Amino acid sequence: MAAASHLQAALRGEATEGYAIDDAFRQETAQGKMFGVLVVADESTGAIGYLAAYSGQIGGRSDQEGFVPAVFDYLQPDGYFKQHEAEISRINQSIERLESNERMKAAQDIIRQLEKTRRQTIENYRQEMKAAKARRDERRKNADLTPEETQRLTRESQFMKAELHRLKMSVSKETALEREYNAFQDDIDQLRRLRRQLSDHLQRWLFSQFNMRDKDGQEADLLTIWAHADTPTDIPPAGSGECCEPKLLQYAFTHGLRPLQMAMFWWGESPKDIIRHHLHFYPACNGKCKPILRFMLGDLLPADLNLPISSDSTNDSAATAAPQTLETVYSDSSIIAVNKPAGLLSVPGKGQCVSALTLLRRMLPHAEGPLLAHRLDMSTSGLLLAAQTESMYHALQDLFLRHRIHKTYIALVCPHADSPLLDGRQQGTISLPLSLDFLDRPRQRVDHRHGKPAVTDYEVIGRQTDADGHTILRLALRPQTGRTHQLRMHCAHAEGLHAPIVGDPLYGNLAAPRMYLHAARLVFDHPTTGRKIEIECSPDF
């Protein structure tokens, strides 16, 4: 914490020994950057100090004064990477010029209209054939049909089928404009393939230059590390090796320094898609950093890489002592609703630890089927609905899929200064599409391009001030959809309420013994009786 404070003072512009930070540096980092500190001991003298690093580049440089350098500096103007990057840029420019060709844009519109006309011509003839067939069928119903007329009707049918074939052949003939346009598109496709091949080659070359050193002095490049790591792909994600953690450890291991403690904090504005809070500490990301850390640290690696160094954060993986049973809130012959405490998994994790499902099976030894009709995050408390028969399980699943089970959650949130909740807005609807952050599971991200729709109604139902002077609002949240971490993201994100749930270990801005989110109410029509069921369970906060 002392090391982080020392670095933060320098970032604020205070005169701090060891750093030369100018206005351009501060302006860029104010837009958002991850910084890291590593407390180390000198192996020869035993002296204690710290190293500092930032992720990626600042001002197009990886060697700012006062910070450890990049593991591999590929930004040298005349270096291999820059030369080949320039080649790829030239291909990009060629593609852009071709794609902006006005004549080919006009040709594309003409060809599209031509295709439409062709399809309509064939469809019109099909309708004509259909009408002619109806007339023939009607005529054949009459008993006075002569052999000659029967033959004529057959010839008419054969002729029209042949005519349809000739028509298709005729309209399918490629025009000179289409031949030119297709050749033009082939040129663009070839350039795109070349660009992809060169990019893949350059990326692999770059990964092969990042030779990471472990605590025992052994080295391996990123391609080798990923080939032996338990990761979804054998190719590292772009930017691997450029985060704070590997840069700090690489410097320590190559300069006779023993790492003692490490922490990363966010400085400045949050990115648009993910959630980061100024001055908050964050663990290593799952996708890019953890495979490298597992190689570099080996048995020095903490048992739980998700645990931040700072006590200002809580964690999804820090479960409370498992209960022996669950409070039953509602029960009938086919349905049961229980109150899941915060810190208890809904279903067993990789370690097959105690979960709400395992407790339910103990409570209902004769129940059939999967039981749980839905799940709650481990950090969320409240109502879990389960079926005691397999048929009821499928009936409840159907109700959830059709959004016929209406849920109300209670949450305590700590709004940022620009939160709409502080402008007197007491209720409303948030619509922010979400998708998984593949490089940092299970975190979600706002994704306006590929995300799944996520909609939440909210209402302010209370206000208080905590002992430290923070404004805390009590919200009723009613999700219209059921995306992963939907309520947590909609509360925390700047495009949502910009008021993170207190104690949220992934997206929060205020520490607490638990995450203050509780599933408080379920309303639905009973699948068997049709009776309206209203189940309520008040939070303990």
Closest CA to 35 of 247, 264, 270, 249: 264
Beta bridge partners of 452: 434
Residue given tokens 């230059």 in the structure block: 209
Residue 150 sits at φ, ψ, to 5 deg, of -60, -45
Q: Which of 214, 221, 377, 437 is catalytic?
A: 377
User: Is 377 marked active-site?
Assistant: yes
What residues contact residue 122 under an 8 Å CB cut-off, 6+ apart?
A: 164, 167, 168, 171
From CA 91, how far away is CA 84, in angstroms rounded?
Answer: 11
**Cβ 456 vs Cβ 478: under 8 Å:** yes
Q: What angle do CA 22, 23, 27 make, to 5 degrees?
A: 125
Q: Which amino acid is at 321?
A: A
Q: What angle do CA 193, 196, 201 make, to 5 degrees?
A: 125
- DSSP sequence for 279-322: T-EEPPPTTTTHHHHHHHHGGGS-S-TT--SSTT---TT-PPPP
Question: What burial class does residue 92 get, using C-beta atoms within 10 Å of its C-beta: 0-12 exposed, 13-18 middle, 19+ buried?
Answer: middle
Q: How far is CA 201 from CA 56, 90, 258, in A?
A: 21, 16, 36
Provide the annotated active-site residues. 377
